[in-house]
Structure 1
Amino acid sequence: MFSYRHAFHAGNHADVLKHLVLIACLRHMTQKDTALWVVDTHAGAGLYRLDGDYAGTSGEAAEGILKLAAAIKAKGAEGEQALAPALADYLQVVRSFNKEGQWRIYPGSPFISQHLLRQEVRDKLKLFELHPTDSGTLAANIAQLGAGRQVGIAREDGFEALKSVLPPPSRRALVLIDPSYEIKTDYAKVAATLRDALQRFATGTYMVWYPVIPRPEAHELPRKLKTLANSFRKPWLHATLAIGQPEQAATVPGEPNRPGLTASGVFVVNPPHILKAALQQALPQLLEMLGRGRGQGQVVEAGGG
């Protein structure tokens, strides 16, 4: 149950998609004066070193943030100025955690969210993480921020703990549901958790990340989420990014060819109205820089309401 560690995957193409969407949502939602609550059901360790043992071993950031940064550097100043605003904003946020010209630190969702929340209107960040090691690392990392009561951390199952914070006192919230999907029952739990959350707090914005992998539950999840959102008569947005198969995936003699995760998706219920246009502009650019072969593509679709 506790074998999954996000540190191995930090900064990969799935993180780029997820955090691009998260930042676009938060930028829009923090324009309103009313306090915003952000709830992260599976927070992880919060902050990751791309030159550390975990990320360095997997090398997944090389097909994500590092490849993106290198592509933009190669384009020069004109290329960076031509970036879609949402993509430029994502890069600016990640850069803010690094020294000039370096890409050694990758902020997870907790640090990205805290970076964008506002002290003056008392925005709140609620973080849940059950993994014994990651929850301890998360607490230590957050302590360095000196954020005080703005950030709350609990070593709890985020699927169940979400019930305790909905609806938030401010009646405004962005909920990120991002489990490891280490076990296939996570897919059913995501749908059940979202249904319960909408019953408790129908006007919240809910963001679900999921891997696109050859497993029936993974293919069925976005369909189930669309049906669920439609049953509550709520608008939804669904975005996917597939970087495609590598030209020559590394193989081990006698082992099957495993190219790793090549695609992921984000499903948002009650998305900000600006999100569809922002992603339609950003994802083609992202794919141009991260795409690597057969099967690459991107989709942005919306409906409901």
Structure 2
Amino acid sequence: MLSYRHSFHAGNFADVLKHIVQVLIIESLKEKEKPFVYLDTHSGAGRYSLSSDEANKTGEYLEGIVRVLEASNPPELIKPYLSLIHELNPKIKDQALRYYPGSPIIAKALLREEDRLLLAELHPSDQVFLKKGFLHDPRALIKLGDGFHLLKSHLPPLERRGLILIDPSYELKEDYQQVVKALKEGYKRFATGIYALWYPVVFRQNIKKMCTELKESGIKKILQIELGVRPDSDKRGMSASGMIVINPPWKLENQMKEILPWLTKVLAPDGHGHFSVEWLVPEE
């Protein structure tokens, strides 16, 4: 299990990986003029203060986004992601990093006028902050409740194009099976959509079981992207994280193979990091 209140972990190595993948997918969708929908099942507060008591208690952003911003020669492919961080922190050169954007704010910055955002958040306190981030934005619809229900009630979208980001807390062991069930429900309704599932590696056996269930689900074209900052361990704590992408844009595999060697060296400078880009279910 994992205790994952995101204000404690914003900007950590897992966020960096997740949001780089998110940005690459959205930019790929924008290559066509036709509008699309961005659906976020676990939106969180939208923006996180890195000067908060929660962020400073763990300091995880110091080993995540701060390392990336301070590193030299970043790959050209991640510069749009880095630009978003700078835009949220306009005086970053004069002071410490103040804010880190969650996935809804990243999507808000990247989506076009004709695209839509559908955001769900279960915790009322987080939803208050989320709504503040989308005041007067006619593209966004915010729902209070379990985001998994949106995969039943709002798919397929009218646009017939879209990215569905699934990013639960994994506070319960059952969440690893729940996400497989949610993906199957969504895929049944919207088989051509792009689904991006984030997962933490706390106990490797949970990930192996989840991946086996996905392989047996009948879903086609499943790409697994993973980055680890330390070897797997039975001790408590996240050693790696990954993204499972269904119907990935055709460039994503090679893009991540180009990015991950540099990113792993930056986020795991002791040399104990690892990464992989593999097909769970390859393209036919």
Which one-letter code corresponds to 1:191 in the other structure? Answer: V
Question: 2:151–2:185: 8 Å Cα contact kept in structure 1?
Answer: no
- Aligned partners of 1:181 and 1:106: how far apart in 2? 21
Q: Which residue of 1 aligns with 2:89?
A: 98
C-alpha contact (below 8 Å) 2:105/2:133 kept by paired residues: no
Among candidates 190, 199, 216, match of residue 188 of structure 2: 199
Cα distance between partner residues in 1 of 2:144 and 2:4: 16
| Structure 2 counterpart of 1:174, from 163, 181, 205 | 163
Matched with 1:130 is: 122
Report the Cα offset of residue 295 of structure 1: 4.2
More helix, by proportion: 1
Q: Which structure 1 residue ranges, 5 or more long, are not aligned?
A: 246-255
Q: Does 172-181 or 61-70 show the bigger shift?
A: 61-70
Secondary structure of 2:170's counterpart equals: coil
1:244 is aligned to 2:235:
no
The answer on 1:31 being equivalent to 2:25 is no
Residue 215 of structure 1, CA deviation: 5.5
Equivalence for 1:251:
none
1:219 corresponds to: 208
Q: Residue 152 and residue 211 in structure 1: after superposition, are their counterparts in 2 closer, same or farther (change >3 A)?
A: same
* 2:267 counterpart (290, 299, 304): 290
Deviation >6 Å, runs of 4+: none
Letter aligned with residue 125 of structure 2: T
CA distance in 2: counterparts of 1:97 and 1:209, whole angstroms: 23
Shift of 1:104: 1.2
Q: TM-score, normalised by structure 1?
A: 0.85
- Does the 8 Å contact 1:213/1:219 carry over to 2? no
Stretches of structure 2 that go unaligned for 5 or more consecutive residues are none
Aligned AA (1:156): G
- For the residue of structure 1 that corresponds to 2:88, the secondary structure is coil
- More moved, 84-93 vs 10-19: 84-93
The amino acid of 2:238's aligned partner reads: L
The percentage of aligned residue pairs carrying the same residue is 40
Cα 1:286–1:155 shift into 2, 3 Å: same
Whose Rg is larger?
A: 1
CA contact (8 A) 2:164 2:193 kept: yes
CA contact (8 A) 1:37 1:174 kept: yes
Which residue type is aligned with residue 132 of structure 2?
Answer: A
- Return the offset for 1:162: 2.1
CA–CA distance in structure 1, aligned partners of residues 117 and 59 of structure 2 = 30
Shift of 1:86: 2.3
Quick one: which amino acid aligns to residue 55 of structure 1?
A
Indicate conservation of the 8 Å contact 1:24/1:275, yes or no.
Answer: yes
Superimposed CA distance per residue, residues 89-117 of structure 1 (whole angstroms, 9 cap, x where no aligned partner): 22112211111425211000000011100
Report what 1:139 is aligned to: 131
Q: Give yes or no for contact 1:212–1:219 (8 Å, CA) kept in 2.
A: no
Deviations 1:103-144 (A, max 9, x none): 21100000001110000xx2000000101211222112322x
What SS is found at the alignment partner of 1:182?
A: coil
In structure 2, do the counterparts of structure 1 residues 287 and 4 end up closer, same or farther at CA, with 3 Å as the change threshold? Answer: closer
Equivalent residue of 2:134, what SS?
helix
- The one-letter code matched in structure 2 to 1:290 is L
Q: TM-score, normalised by structure 2?
A: 0.91
Distance, in Å, in 2 between the alignment partners of 1:287 and 1:95 is 22
Displacement after TM superposition at 1:223 (Å): 2.9
The alpha-carbon deviation at position 185 of structure 1 amounts to 1.3
- Does the 8 Å contact 1:13/1:65 carry over to 2? yes
> Contact 1:222–1:267 at 8 Å: present in 2 too?
no
The answer as to 2:37 corresponding to 1:45 is no
How many residue pairs align between the two structures? 275
Q: Distance in 2 between matches of 1:90 and 1:227?
A: 34
